[in-house]
Structure 1
Amino acid sequence: MTAARHRLEAQRARNDTRDWVVKRRERTRQLIELGGLVAKAGLVELTDDDRAVLFGVMIDAAATLKGEQRDQARTLWRRRGRRAFEQLQNE
């Protein structure tokens, strides 16, 4: 395949507005952003990129959010997250 043809196909793919393509693109973007949050939090380095540990941390967080302390945990985590975002912006 020539480079020009490859560029043309790539452009068509970017401009594809079929519903399932748009939804897939949105989901892909969401997953990339969530992965970025895991990296920004330092969890990749702190766990030596151990996916089982990362998944376990998320399972614990989900269990907390299902429990009686849900509202308190969300409030605390939201405050911490906002402060961390502000610090990142100020760096």
Structure 2
Amino acid sequence: MAIREDDAIEKFRQIISRVDPRLVLDRGDVRYVTEPYAGVEYGLRLGKAGALLFMPEADLTAPDWQDRLRTRFEAAKCYLEGFPHRD
């Protein structure tokens, strides 16, 4: 069952704001994909650092989706914090 991009964006925004309000979802980079795995590609920024990431559809549609997304966004935040800071 494919999740709509708008539904994924709404879920992302709910959880991102709880993890760290400095995280910014790049809505232009959100798209549903089926290959090689079903899920949603999305862009995430923290300051000047940014990355294109992937969220499995199973995480978005599971009954515990809030916990799953929080865990993934916390990991993404740690990843983005590891980029060198440039002025």
Q: Which has the larger strand fraction?
A: 2
Q: TM-score, normalised to structure 2's length?
A: 0.37
Q: TM-score, normalised to structure 1's length?
A: 0.36
Larger radius of gyration: 1
Q: Which has the larger helix fraction?
A: 1
